[in-house]
Structure 1
């Protein structure tokens, strides 16, 4: 069986004008997960990212200099667009400025998106799910035995939920648990695609590493 490791990008710049930039913490997280893969002797023979800057920069900070293949199906959902659609352009200040309120709104917005309770978003839930499946198929249609993918929390949550045959609500429950630069491992062969490990952080399993943990 071949392996596909999907790593969530390092912490991005939450609350800044451009979210799609790694924070200093995100860069340290990325270096740490790259180091632990090398320590484990896990050398990828295929590199894939989405098209987002924070995903590609995570791979670079991990110490992989070869240009990756890109597939937009590994990009995160556009939460700002979804909020704008849900609130008809009038997003409450509390949702924009308070971290806890933001993540409550994130969960509830995704659930309403799944249930088609609002219109106007650039992407429907079904389109999101379909492009992730297309990205998974792209990454696993290969002779490579070790595929390394850098993606985002919502995509990883959906990949895991689909592999487990879980209800669609589970995607968001998983999404909110996923740590920055955590490792989720799948095994695949032909049409078979199974979850082997979820949200692992061996690079944080010591006192100094624990200081690097973040969820957004």
Structure 2
């Protein structure tokens, strides 16, 4: 039996030219989460990250407390789906909302609508088909827990976590985006993996968040 700890990356750079890097707050969140995980007794036997910069930077912050001695394995299957490309595909050849990639409220409302269309194959030529995304996330979870490890930490993104939780719970496909939009930066989801299957342990834990620091550290994008 293994326990898979799926951690969403810390706050990235929404609205910037390069989203795929942590903000100053994101770096702080990752260090704070590392301290909280150490207090929870985190002693990973294996660590994996997606292939995106925000995954690596989040792990580096976490590891300032954990002191894991080797570089994490890189599993691109844990990468986020290309939400910018997906939104662009949906609006290809027609007028798109103003500030689609800079207004948070508009962005995430439109993203939810777009993902639902993507799941029904209603978007022509997306960056990847939804079925391929679901398959690669499932395969990455299998790779992460293939070795004889009791505790595995993975730093990934909200889409991969939402997809994983929906699948483990046997929920319909549209649950994926509803879950994703609730996942906090640096939150933890635990999945217990046994020979009989995967079982959800916890969802959206934030052990580094307290009443005293929530106004500063609690973010979603």
How many residues are matched?
216
Query: How high is the TM-score relative to the length of structure 1?
Result: 0.96
**In structure 2, what is the Cα distance between the partners aligned to 1:210 and 1:92?**
30
Match of 1:72 among 72, 76, 79: 76
Asked if the contact 2:37–2:207 (Cα under 8 Å) also holds between the matched residues in 1, the reply is no
**In structure 1, what is the Cα distance between the partners aligned to 2:102 and 2:74?**
33
Moved over 4 A (4+): none
Asked if the contact 2:2–2:149 (Cα under 8 Å) also holds between the matched residues in 1, the reply is yes
The aligned counterpart of 1:34 is 34
Taking the TM superposition and a 5 Å limit, the aligned residue runs for 1:38-77 are: 38-62=38-62, 63=64, 64=67, 66-77=70-81
Query: How high is the TM-score relative to the length of structure 2?
Result: 0.94
CA RMSD, 1 decimal: 1.3
**In structure 1, what is the Cα distance between the partners aligned to 2:102 and 2:216?**
24
Q: Give SS of 2:99's match.
A: helix
Asked if the contact 1:13–1:21 (Cα under 8 Å) also holds between the matched residues in 2, the reply is yes
**In structure 2, what is the Cα distance between the partners aligned to 1:211 and 1:149?**
25
Asked if the contact 2:14–2:102 (Cα under 8 Å) also holds between the matched residues in 1, the reply is no
**In structure 2, what is the Cα distance between the partners aligned to 1:97 and 1:196?**
35
Deviations 1:153-189 (A, max 9, x none): 0100000000000000000100000000000001112
Q: Give the gaps of 5 or more residues in structure 2.
A: none
Instruction: Please say if 1:110 is aligned against 2:115.
Output: yes
Larger displacement relative to structure 2 (113-122 or 163-172) = 113-122
